[in-house]
Structures are given as C-alpha cells and as structure tokens.
C-alpha cells in the first residue's frame, strides 16, 4: 500500500457522519494519501480495469465526490426554496396560490 503513495487508516468505529469521506494528503517528498484498506483494494481493482494509475484514479474519485456533494447541496437548497410571489406571471400567481392547499405534489406535508 505504501509503495502506491497510500497509507492505511484504521476502520471507523463510531460513524458520526454518513456522508462523503474527505481524505487529506500529506507531503513527504511526494503526496501521500491516507485511505481505508477496503477502499484501496477496490481502487486498485478499478484502476486495473480502467488501465490507469491508482493515484490518478483516487484524485478523480475525490473530485467526483466534491462535485456530487456540491450538487446535492444545490438540490437540497432548491427544494427548500420558496418562490417569490412577485416573480410569477399573473396566470401562475392566481392558479398557484389558489390551489396551494390541495396540491397532491406538495412534499412538505
């Protein structure tokens, strides 16, 4: 594991957050990535199939996870966003606010 610029992290006992793990890296002549052993085994298998270096694949996975987290945050904020009544056209304003009580797609209830 160390020869592939990775170092081992002990398994987590008490999981406090159930979202994305953010791994940090240390600088010692070159970057050393701290990862869990099961993740490293999976990463090696995927890198072998994709025919790329394990370190490159790990960096891309980290970038993908950051983008997914930002996307989830944007979706969450847009789902909780209340539309401004002034932004609606006259037809939408009348129909939307008149039928707000019996909206079958209302997810807040």
Model pTM score: 0.56
- Strands 30-36 and 25-28, sheet pairing: antiparallel
Looking at residue 86, its pLDDT comes to: 65
Looking at residue 87, its pLDDT comes to: 65
Instruction: Domain ranges for the chain, please list them.
Output: 2-98
Digits of tens for pLDDT over the chain (109 positions)? Answer: 555 567 666 666 676 766 666 666 666 666 667 777 778 888 889 989 999 988 888 888 888 888 988 998 898 888 877 766 666 666 666 655 555 555 555 555 5
Which residues, 6 or more positions from 83, have their beta carbon under 8 angstroms from its beta carbon? 96
């Amino acid at each position: 594991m160390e020869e592939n610029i990775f170092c081992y992290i002990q398994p987590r006992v008490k999981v406090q957050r159930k979202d994305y793990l953010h791994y940090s890296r240390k600088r010692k002549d070159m970057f050393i990535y701290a990862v869990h052993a099961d993740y490293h085994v999976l990463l090696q298998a995927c890198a072998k199939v994709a025919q790329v270096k394990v370190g490159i694949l790990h960096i891309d996975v980290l970038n993908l996870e950051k983008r997914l987290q930002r996307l989830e945050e944007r979706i969450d904020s847009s789902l909780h966003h209340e539309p401004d009544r002034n932004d609606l056209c006259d037809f939408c304003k009348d129909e939307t606010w008149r039928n707000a009580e019996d909206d079958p797609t209302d997810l807040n209830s």
